[in-house]
Chain A
Amino acid sequence: MSLFWIFAFLTFFGLIAYGFQIWAVRSYLSTPCSCGEGLALPRLFPPVSVLKPLKGLDDNLYDNLLSFCSQDYPEYEIIFSLQSHNDPAYRIAKRIKDKHPGRNISIIVEDCSIGLNPKVNNLLPAYKASKYEYILISDSNVIVDKNYLREITKPIDNSGPVGEVGLVSNIIKGVGGRSLGAIFENLHLNSFIVGSVCFLHSFLKLPCVIGKSMLMSKKDLEAIGGLRSVKDILAEDYVIGERMHKAGKKVVLSNYMISNVNEYWGFKRFLNRHTRWGKLRWKIGGSKYVFELIGNPVFMSAMPIVFWQCSKLTVTFAVLTSIIKVFGDFYLGRKTGAELDNPFLYLLSPVKDLVIGLIWTVPIVSNTVVWRGNRYSIGKDSILSPCPETGIWSLRYRIIDAIKERFA
């Protein structure tokens, strides 16, 4: 019985934490951007270089890229950066460029392999070619409306002559789920991710940077070591944010939400991404990673069934917790404007939480990630190193790969 009460307490704790997350999201979205709104200075629009690293076909890629061509912003350039002409995204980038001859769009194809982080490798040539002082690193799987650049540059514009704002990032919401993996992904983005980011930012005042959208000046970026300094880091966005913070620069999380389109993800892709993200949070957060599990009330409430007994009490407890979580996720979805097409799909939320709970354990036993086809091992602060391809240490990877291939 004592086991039940331990898990009941942890579940209760998790639900309270979830309540705080909802509160944080609610208050964050209802507060206008605090950065200099009241200043009487005329609005400035610094020219911006939008860097779009492309790799493969993301869901909705054409519309995602197209949305950057219709920005209501005076001066900006778009740089699509790819590693190969054979990348299927090249055709899309070319078509977008051809469709908008009047826009300042360039396509850079360069097989850069300076570091181990493929995104940074892809970004470096684009960064070199960018002509404006402000760069906006934007992932290819986000879609924005025409006010995006105006909104994200607001904090920079108003940061004054000393330039106290070092980096501006955005909250993301997952939209468009049509397959099970995509629905799980969007449920997770719109509950755990958005909730945690707002919670950390609002209550703990920790710099939160979402790599899908990062605006900064070259001067500030170079002052913290530049892009090259994060070429072997898996969580390059987090590290850039942290270094900016340590350098005394303000890291602003704009309350202008951008949409991350996930339509046809397979379940395997969902598992891969969150295993990878879990591993990097484990390497960065260390013991704090434990709180993530406690912050998963559905998983905690299911533990007495597994470790104690399957009785009316334990099942009722788990079901009640799941119902609370379903309603919480539904509310967050409505609040962030990221509702699922069918409200009944929110019933999948507890299942997703159980899967996430199981994924949580993986980083404890494995420190390798397969990212864009390459296997790396992750060290402290998510520093990547290549996995050995020969010798006794490579044996386990070869066995894992052989098993995966067998069941493919």
Chain B
Amino acid sequence: MLLCDFHIHTTYSDGSVELRRTIDLFGQAGFDVIAITDHVVSGDNSIGKFANRFNLSVREDNFEEYMTNIRQEAARAWNKYGMLVIPGVEISKNHLSSDKSAHMLLIDIKSFVPASWNYERIFLEAKEQDALIVACHPHYMSDMSKDTLFLWNNREKYAKYIDAWEVANRDDVFNVISLKKYPYLANSDFHKARHLYSWKTLLNCEKDTAAVKQCIKHNKGVAITLFRN
């Protein structure tokens, strides 16, 4: 089984560990597949403007640099650790109300997707790029100030676009996902080194991007594990 984490932030957004060190941290810990998914924040409200102003978000103007660095690090990670690194982003639609907020991972993204677009447009663009769409922390979390409930509240409308839902995020487990029998993943939402020890995904597939995406979409051979030291 491949030990995987598909939700990792670096200093490109609000993570505290630089990209290279993040790769090393996961490589040294024996991970097989990871996705780097820094925030892309919508700049159409004050929260987004603040994030963009203080470089807490990947922006259109630094997206190419972000992707280039991930690709370079991916090559290094593959040679040194045999670890597959997939580029991605976390589209972050933040509002003061948790009912309106939503975060979604676009994994294996190729070009920039603005978070200010409407949901359908984002999903269609992600499909166009053959990226995987994952709904992040879709239900109530232990830290209530960060709840992002929009996708869950509108699941009837949007579930058809979403390839997988986070059934566990860092220390939280969302049993509603399993009750609804949605395809699932478990990730760390890594921001600090100590977040390495959290819920993870185990995949029973080959270690290449296409096989990993296929395995998640079909959601067969997927398990979750609480990775502890």
Chain A residues in the interface with B (C-beta under 8 A) = 56-57, 59-63, 88, 91-92, 95, 99, 178-179, 263-264, 266
Contact = CB atoms under 8 A, between A and B. Distances in A.
Interface in B171-229: 193-194, 227-229
A62 B193 contact: no
* Nearest 8 Cβ contacts at the A-B interface: A91-B30, A264-B193, A62-B28, A56-B229, A92-B30, A57-B229, A57-B29, A61-B28
B27 interface: yes
B193 A178 contact: yes
Given A57-B229, A88-B229, A95 B194 contact: no
Contacts of B28: 57, 59-63, 92
A95 B227 contact: no
A88 B27 CA distance: 12
Given A56-B229, A92-B28, A264-B194, 13 more contacts: A62-B28, A62-B30, A62-B81, A88-B29, A88-B227, A88-B228, A92-B29, A95-B30, A95-B81, A99-B82, A263-B193, A264-B25, A264-B193
B75 interface: no
Contacts, number: 37
27 contacts: A56-B229, A57-B229, A61-B28, A61-B29, A62-B28, A62-B29, A62-B30, A62-B81, A63-B28, A88-B29, A88-B30, A88-B227, A88-B229, A91-B30, A92-B28, A92-B29, A92-B30, A95-B30, A95-B82, A99-B82, A178-B21, A178-B193, A179-B193, A263-B193, A264-B25, A264-B193, A264-B194
B67 interface: no
Contacts of A264: 25, 193-194
Interface of B: 3, 21, 25, 27-30, 81-82, 193-194, 227-229
B176 to A, nearest CB: 26
Nearest to B81: A62
Contact of A91 (B3, B21, B25, B194): B3
Nearest to B32: A91
Nearest to A89: B30
A88 B30 CA distance: 8
A62 B32 CA distance: 13
Nearest to B227: A88
B70 to A, nearest CB: 20
Nearest to A56: B229
A99 B227 CA distance: 24
A122 to B, nearest CB: 16
A263 B22 CA distance: 12
A91 B81 CA distance: 12
Nearest to B80: A62
A91 B27 CA distance: 11
Contacts of B82: 95, 99
A182 to B, nearest CB: 10
B5 to A, nearest CB: 13
Contacts of A263: 193
Contacts of A92: 28-30
Contacts of B29: 57, 61-62, 88, 92
Nearest to A64: B28
Contacts of A95: 30, 81-82
A25 to B, nearest CB: 30
A266 B193 CA distance: 10
A62 B27 contact: yes
Contacts of A99: 82
A62 B24 CA distance: 9
A88 B25 CA distance: 14
A403 B221 CA distance: 41
B76 to A, nearest CB: 13
With most chain A CB atoms within 10 A of its CB, the pick from B3, B21, B30, B194 is B30
Contacts of A178: 21, 193
A57 B228 CA distance: 9
B126 to A, nearest CB: 32
Contacts of B30: 57, 62, 88, 91-92, 95
Nearest to B229: A56
A388 to B, nearest CB: 27
A264 B227 CA distance: 17
A278 to B, nearest CB: 24
A238 to B, nearest CB: 27
Contacts of A91: 3, 30
B14 to A, nearest CB: 18
B153 to A, nearest CB: 32
A20 to B, nearest CB: 37
With most chain A CB atoms within 10 A of its CB, the pick from B193, B194, B227 is B193
A112 B3 CA distance: 27
Nearest to B17: A178
A56 B29 CA distance: 10
Contacts of B227: 88
Nearest to A182: B193
A372 to B, nearest CB: 11
Nearest to B29: A57
A353 to B, nearest CB: 25
A266 B27 contact: no
B83 to A, nearest CB: 10
A92 B82 CA distance: 11
Contacts of A88: 29-30, 227-229
Nearest to A96: B30
Nearest to B25: A264
A88 B29 CA distance: 8
Nearest to B228: A88
Contacts of B25: 264
A61 B28 CA distance: 6
